[in-house]
Amino acid sequence: MSGLEDLYREIILDHYRAPRNRGTLSVPPAHQVEGFNPLCGDEVVLYLDISDGAITDITTAGQGCSISQASTSMMSNAVKGKSVEESRKIIRAFKALMSVHESHLQGAENGPTEGPVPDDVRLGDLEALQGVVKFPVRIKCATLAWNTLIQGLDETSGGS
């Protein structure tokens, strides 16, 4: 089961079983953004409270497989309270973790989040998701929440 245990690290299963930051925020003032994986039906809904250039609050809804839901939960923890600029750096670092295999999987790439991979970002727990790259069809599950966040940030900050 070594391959499976690489994919389903304990921390991933923990976020799947007990997702963090679940819930909704009032829209407005919060911004709501949805992402879908049409292949498997994974669905991520993010509620973003952005003020003074920072993600002051983020909650998540939706449903899907353990990888997509754990990634959503871990992402929400990673960016909550961070500035938009810092969040974009985390997104870039996370996508770099996945990107070797994502390039041919029609990843939703958005301009402002493109750029050099930051070397000063510590991904911490998020690195547990690296096992996903061994299972190429699941990379879309892991990146769904992140692509949805990019969309949300672009919609709220006008790409700035």
Partner 1 sequence: MSSLSVAKIQEDFPILKREVNGKRLVYLDSASSSQTPTSVLDAMNNCYQNTYANVHRGVYTIAEETTSAFEGARLAISRFIGASSPSEVVFTRNATEAVNLVAQTWGRTNLKPGDAIVLTQMEHHANIVPWQMLAAELDLELRWIPITPDYQLDLTNLESLLSGAKLLAFSSMSNVLGTINDVPALVAAAHNAGALALVDACQSVPNLPTNVVTDNSDFMVFSAHKMLGPSGVGALWARAELLEAMPPFLGGGEMIRDVTLEGFTTNEIPWKFEAGTPAIVEVIGWGAAVDYLEKIGLAAVREHEAELTAYALDALADRFGKKLTIYGPLDIAHRGSAISFLFEDIHAHDISQVVDEEAVCVRAGHHCAKPLMRVLGVPATTRASFYIYNDTRDIDILVDALVRAEKFFGV
What is the nearest approach in angstroms of partner 1 to the Cβ of residue 156? 28
Contacts to partner 1 by CB under 8 A: 1, 3-4, 7-8, 13, 17, 39-41, 43, 63-67, 135, 138, 141
SS3 of 52-106: CCEEEEEEEEEECCHHHHHHHHHHHHHHCCCEHHHHHHHHHHHHHHHHHHHCCCC
Q: CA–CA distance from 16 to each of 66, 70, 134 (Å)?
A: 5, 5, 19
Q: Quick one: 72 or 113, whose CB is closer to partner 1?
A: 72
What is the nearest approach in angstroms of partner 1 to the Cβ of residue 43? 7
- Give the end-to-end CA distance of the chain in Å, rounded to a whole number: 45
What is the nearest approach in angstroms of partner 1 to the Cβ of residue 16? 8
What is the nearest approach in angstroms of partner 1 to the Cβ of residue 72? 13
Give the list of residues 6+ apart from residue 38 with CB closer than 8 angstroms, or none. none
Q: Which two tokens stand for residue 148?
A: 């949805």
Q: Quick one: 8 or 146, whose CB is closer to partner 1?
A: 8
Q: Which two tokens stand for residue 52?
A: 């003074």
Q: Quick one: 51 or 63, whose CB is closer to partner 1?
A: 63
Q: Quick one: 25 or 40, whose CB is closer to partner 1?
A: 40
